[in-house]
Amino acid sequence: MLTVYLLRHGETLWNADGNRYCGVTDVELTEKGIGQAHLAAEVLAGITFDAVYSSPLQRAFRTAQIASGKPEQVRIDARLTEASFGEWEGKTREEFIGEKPQLWDEWCRTPERTKAGGSGETATEVVSRVDAFFRDVQQAHVSGTILVVAHNAVNRFYLARKLGMPLRNYRQLAQDNSSVTVFDLDGEGELKLLKLNCR
C-alpha cells in the first residue's frame, strides 16, 4: 500500500489578483503563499517521506521545497504540471465567461472532451498523464509514503476519476492553497481517500 500526501501549491500572485487562472503560466508565490507552505511543513512535521515529487512550475516546486523540509530531495515530473487553460490563463472567470460564455458552458458540461480556454487541455488528457505518473510511482514505491505537490485542477481531476465521479463534478472537491489531501493506493491502483483539504 502506498500512502500519498497530495498538496496544492501556496497562493500565487494571480490567485491573489481576483483568482486569475494560472494554468501552465509560471506564476510566483506571494509572501502569503510562502507562509502557507511553511504552515504545511508544520502539518507534515514528523512524517518520513520516501520521496517528494513536484510539478516543474515554480509555485509548486517552491511549495514542495518548503513543505517537505528537504529541498534537495524534490523530484520534478512534468506530468504534474497544471492543466493548460488556453485563452483563459491570466483572466478571471468573470472575464473569460463574458468573452465566450458558450465555451465555459461546454467546459462545465463536458470537460472530458472540451479544450479548456479553447486551446488548452481536456480533462481526459490531464487525467491520463497524472494517472500515468502515479502508476509509475507505484512501481518505484510499492509501499511507503510520498509527498506530491501539484495544482488545483490536476489534483481534483485525478481524485474525481479515481473516486468514480464524473469529471464535470471535479469542482465539488476542495483544494485550497497548501492544503493537504491524503489517500492510499493499493496494488490494483484503487484509491482510498483518507483526508481531504486539511491544514
The answer to whether residues 173 and 123 touch, using CB atoms and an 8 Å cutoff, is: no
Instruction: Quote the cell numbers at residue 96.
Output: 473569460
Give the C-alpha separation, 139 to 51, whole Å: 13
Q: Which of 9, 89, 121, 151 is catalytic?
A: 9
C-alpha cell at 74: 524534490
Instruction: Report residue 14 as a C-alpha cell.
Output: 494571480
Q: Please pick, among 11, 82, 89, 121, the residue that the annotation labels catalytic.
A: 82
CA distances from 53 to 15, 68, 71, 114 (A): 22, 10, 11, 28
Using alpha carbons only, how large is the chain's radius of gyration in Å?
16
Is 82 part of the annotated catalytic residue set?
A: yes
Query: Is 141 designated active site?
Result: no
Give DSSP secondary structure letters for 128-173.
HHHHHHHHHHHHH-SSEEEEEEE-HHHHHHHHHHHTT--GGGGGGS
Query: 39, 175 in Cβ contact below 8 A?
Result: no
Indicate which residues carry an active-site annotation. 9, 82
